[in-house]
Amino acid sequence: MKTIKVCIKRSEGFKEYMVETEEGMSVMDVLERIYDEQDNTLAFFRHEACHQEACGKCLVRVNGKVCLACGHEAAEDELVLEPWSDKVVRDLVCEQP
Amino acid sequence: MRTITTDVLIVGSGGAGLRAAAAAADGGAKALIVCKGKVNRSGSTLLAGANVSADVMCDGRSMASMGIGIGDENDSKEKFYKDIILEGVWLNDRGLVKQYVENAPTVIREIVENNKNLHPKGDDREIGIPGSTIIDTYYKMIRERNVDVVEDSSLLDLLKASDGSIAGALFLDLIHGEIFAVNAKATVLATGGMHNCYSFTSGTTGLAGEGQAAAIRAGAEMIDMEMVTFCPGVITHPMKWRGSILPYIIHTNDQFRLKNVDGEEFMAKHLPQSAVDLALHSEWNKMLLCYAMHKEVNQEGKGDAYGGVTFDLEFKDEEDEQVFLDHYPFLKTGTCNEMFRYIKDHGGIPVYGAAHYFDGGIFVDPSFATSLEGLFAAGECTGGTFGSNRVSAATTQMLVQGLEAGKSAAAYAAGAELKAFCPVCLEKAEKDALRPFEEGKEDPRRLKKKINEIVSAGAGVVRDEKGMTEALAALEAQDLSAYGVTVDTRAYNRSWMDWLESRSMLTCSKAILASSLMRKESRGVFIRSDYFYTDNDEYLVSTRYKDGRVRLEPVDQADVPVPAGRLGYIENIEDVIKRLSYS
């Protein structure tokens, strides 16, 4: 268990969250935890996700690099999460390729 | 409102939806797929066999004729047919099983011929291939046929014409928040399972039973809604792998162990030795393993921190491990390799039974017409094919049924006119979808969790009268109007999606519980602690749910001999297995 800082680029600007994480959590799990416990206005891809790096739809920019939210383990002490493309719909959700 | 017109509308883009669309196009119809995710990467099909090894099945003789070195010349369609009915413990709809057996070789041939570099491993009756290979095969097929596609859009409601027939459907573009309609001569539902009714599932996040719920709201008849298959080897922890069935995919071997929180094996405590052997070494293991795990966790109180048990692999020596890895080569690379190493490094991995496959669903005839004019359905959202227990492949099911449903829908559309929506229906469907913007204030995510808790407790692996009655009453007490959106925008509004999914989940869950209460016996995947026997005198019947009421319909038993009377649940399974051609 550790508490990490997560900065998310929302449509209206960056917002910071302190999130308790455990080993084996993905960035998708961290986003879920934020939505569940801190902020139910956050938008991130979730409506038809496989969670198993198979569908390739949960793209997000993590600390500058584009990756799958479900495939990136949240091991860092600080996460900066941004939309993966410049065609933002809302918060971390972009127009689908 | 934006309205798209087409001949045949297909809702869903797993194997059933893709195959239906291709068949509709081949039948001369203009076909349109609307799907909740990405057309070639959403739905249950993608995760079939943990996307490493999904079984696709047909009879062994037909398999032998494919030229892939797999099969059994001594097998036959007749034997396969009888085995499926025995596996379903005599509840199967015979017409649907016949259609399955007859068309299974066709779809396997399609996969083999379209994937020249595929060297599938397999058995007498099956090949094992990744779910994505199946999807890719049929995605190519719809592209070649110029099928239109609208992605990231969720089904809101079926829409009727003034004469009561189905004239299309209303959808929500989840990304942008636009509600739009599709006006079609024929509609095919291929929306997959109702996984989201349960808290722990092996499905993708979008499987909320929208097709089933829309069909129920429109007055369609449902069949065997009480039959839910749980998969015993599904990862509960680490969180990033939660829901993966990989342990189940690699469990059919001598190295696999299931242990409780104290590190003890427990199967023999809850099952007689013959049933333990069945559970460990046959394809009949899902309900037996889930039953033993349920008893160990809920009765003995020996569950782990994640509410389940430990799946472990024990190797005699390095050579033993190497042989194992050669048998499951996908464990040598990528995420599967990480999982394998986790099991070795941590003395196993936490698993439990997850809602995995829905044997019941929308009632269809062998042309895949539902009880509603103009509406067809295929794949997991239908019911009846596998009776009370699916052992044979759901991948084959979705493909053969999609093929037939697409054909039927195209033929229906060829003789039909495009009918205008009944204006009242359209207005009501749109107004209903927008309720969360007008009504309650509570986060619908809380309602989803409540439904999950109620259904998991009341309609889980082992059920009883009291638990089911309480669960149904608790579902009836839930009030959708207390919940509403947490943000006012329509664009990618998670709370709106949660509200809409809750609505579908409530509708489906009530049907599951009401149907369960009508079956006072245990059969196949349906286990009751208060009626722990199979009753062939009273319950060779399917449950039919319509407009909130359930009736029992006798299942014709002319073809496969069935013993009369009652037999203990486990004893009955042992007896059925003795009757199989492959036991």
Residue B574: pLDDT over 70: yes
Query: CATH number, domain at B412?
Result: 3.50.50.60
Point out the residue among A35, A46, A95 whose CB comes nearest to the CB of B205: A46
Q: Check residue A55 and give its pLDDT.
A: 87
Of B187-191, B247-251, B373-377, B433-437, least confident by mean pLDDT is B247-251
Query: CATH number, domain at B256?
Result: 3.90.700
Q: How many CB atoms lie within 10 A of CB B511?
A: 26
Give the percent of chain B with pLDDT over 70.
100
Give the structural domain span for A43. 2-94
Residues in chain B within 8 Å Cβ distance of A29: 239-240
Q: What is the pLDDT of residues B147-174, one digit of tens each?
A: 999 999 999 999 999 999 999 999 999 9
Q: Do B212 and B233 lie in a common domain?
A: no
Q: Do B311 and B210 lie in a common domain?
A: no
Residue B283: pLDDT over 80: no
Q: Which of B355, B380, B414 is the last residue of a domain?
A: B355
Please list the pLDDT of chain A residue by residue as tens digits (97 residues).
Answer: 899 999 999 999 999 999 999 999 999 999 999 999 999 999 999 999 888 888 889 999 999 999 999 999 999 999 999 999 999 999 999 998 7
Point out the residue among B51, B176, B445 whose CB comes nearest to the CB of A54: B51
Point out the residue among B46, B443, B486 whose CB comes nearest to the CB of A50: B46
Query: CATH number, domain at A80?
Result: 3.10.20.30
A42–B contact, CB cutoff 8 A:
yes
Record the tokens describing residue B553, joined without a space: 């319909």
pTM higher than the cut 0.90: yes
Q: What is the pLDDT of residues B439-459, one digit of tens each?
A: 999 999 999 999 999 999 999
Residues in chain B within 8 Å Cβ distance of A96: 38, 151-152, 175
Q: Do B152 and B47 lie in a common domain?
A: yes
Cα end-to-end distance, chain A, whole Å:
36
Residues in chain B within 8 Å Cβ distance of A68: none
Point out the residue among A57, A89, A95 whose CB comes nearest to the CB of B41: A57
CB contact under 8 Å between B175 and A93, yes or no, is yes
Q: Nearest C-alpha of chain A: how many angstroms from B413?
A: 30
Length of chain B: 583
Q: Which of B121-135, B151-165, B566-580 has the highest mean pLDDT?
A: B151-165
Q: Check residue B256 and give its pLDDT.
A: 87
For Cα atoms B111, B114, B120, give the angle at the middle one, nearest 5 degrees.
50
Q: Check residue B525 and give its pLDDT.
A: 97
SS3 sequence, B528-558?
Answer: ECCCCEEECCCCCEEEEEECCEEEEEECCCC
Q: Do B286 and B375 lie in a common domain?
A: no
Among residues A54, A42, A47, A51, the alpha carbon closest in space to that of A70 is found at A51
CB contact under 8 Å between A35 and B494, yes or no, is yes
Point out the residue among B154, B487, B491 whose CB comes nearest to the CB of A89: B491
Residues in chain B within 8 Å Cβ distance of A24: 237-241
Q: Nearest C-alpha of chain A: how many angstroms from B191?
A: 12
CB contact under 8 Å between B487 and A25, yes or no, is no
Chain B interface test: which of A39, A55, A59, A95 (most B C-beta within 10 Å) = A55
Does B22 map to a domain? Answer: yes
Cα dist from B218 to B166, B215, B442, B548, whole Å: 9, 5, 28, 12
| pLDDT, mean over chain B | 95
Residue B314: pLDDT over 70: yes
Cβ within 8 Å of residue B564, ≥6 positions away:
B536, B537
Residues in chain B within 8 Å Cβ distance of A93: 175, 491-492
Q: Do B233 and B315 lie in a common domain?
A: yes
Q: Check residue B279 and give its pLDDT.
A: 80
Does B475 map to a domain? Answer: no
Q: Nearest C-alpha of chain A: how many angstroms from B571?
A: 38
Point out the residue among A25, A55, A93 whose CB comes nearest to the CB of B37: A55
Q: Check residue B558 and give its pLDDT.
A: 87
Q: Which of B425, B449, B482 is the last residue of a domain?
A: B425
CB contact under 8 Å between B491 and A49, yes or no, is no
A50–B contact, CB cutoff 8 A:
yes
Q: Check residue B46 and give its pLDDT.
A: 86
Q: Do B163 and B25 lie in a common domain?
A: yes
Contact B15, B40 (CB under 8 A): no
Residue B51: pLDDT over 90: no
Q: Total structural domains in chain B?
A: 3
Residue B282: pLDDT over 80: no
Record the tokens describing residue A41, joined without a space: 């206005």
A62–B contact, CB cutoff 8 A:
no
Q: Do B286 and B366 lie in a common domain?
A: no
DSSP per-residue string spanning A9-58: EETTEEEEEEEEE-TT-BHHHHHHHHHHHT-TT---S-TT--SSSSS---
Q: Do B362 and B349 lie in a common domain?
A: no
Record the tokens describing residue B430, joined without a space: 């749109």
Q: Check residue B411 and give its pLDDT.
A: 98
Point out the residue among A29, A55, A90 whose CB comes nearest to the CB of B42: A55
Does B75 map to a domain? Answer: no
**ipTM for the complex?**
0.96
Q: Nearest C-alpha of chain A: how many angstroms from B206?
A: 4
Q: Check residue B215 and give its pLDDT.
A: 98
Q: Do B163 and B20 lie in a common domain?
A: yes
The whole-number average pLDDT for the span B9-27 is 98
Q: Do B317 and B390 lie in a common domain?
A: no
Chain A interface test: which of B129, B204, B445 (most A C-beta within 10 Å) = B204
CB contact under 8 Å between A96 and B152, yes or no, is yes
Contact B92, B556 (CB under 8 A): no
Give the structural domain span for B562. 534-579
Residues in chain A within 8 Å Cβ distance of B46: 50, 54-55
CB contact under 8 Å between A96 and B151, yes or no, is yes
CB contact under 8 Å between B242 and A51, yes or no, is yes
Q: Which of B379, B401, B425 is the last residue of a domain?
A: B425
Q: What is the pLDDT of residues B202-212, one digit of tens each?
A: 999 999 999 99
Q: Nearest C-alpha of chain B: how many angstroms from A79?
A: 17
Q: What percentage of chain B's residues is helix, strand, coil (to nearest 5)?
A: 45, 20, 35
Q: What is the pLDDT of residues B519-570, one digit of tens each?
A: 999 999 999 999 999 999 999 999 999 999 999 999 999 899 999 999 999 9
Q: In chain B, which residue's Cα lies nearest the Cα of A91?
A: B492
CB contact under 8 Å between A25 and B239, yes or no, is yes
Does B486 map to a domain? Answer: no
Q: Check residue B583 and give its pLDDT.
A: 67
Residue B234: pLDDT over 80: yes
CB contact under 8 Å between A47 and B335, yes or no, is no
Q: Quick one: pLDDT band at residue B68, thresholds 50, 70, 90?
A: confident
Contact B42, B184 (CB under 8 A): no
For Cα atoms A37, A40, A46, give the angle at the middle one, nearest 5 degrees.
100
Among residues B231, B266, B237, the alpha carbon closest in space to that of B349 is found at B237
Residue B367: pLDDT over 70: yes
Q: Total structural domains in chain A?
A: 1
Among residues B175, B42, B115, B154, the alpha carbon closest in space to that of A54 is found at B42
Length of chain A: 97
Q: Do B317 and B365 lie in a common domain?
A: no
Q: Do B168 and B37 lie in a common domain?
A: yes
CB burial readout A3-19, b (16+ within 10 A) else e: ebebebbbeeeebebeb
Q: Check residue B536 and give its pLDDT.
A: 98
Does B14 map to a domain? Answer: yes
Report which DSSP code applies to B360: -
Of A31-45, B128-142, B281-295, B358-372, least confident by mean pLDDT is B281-295
CB contact under 8 Å between A52 and B244, yes or no, is yes
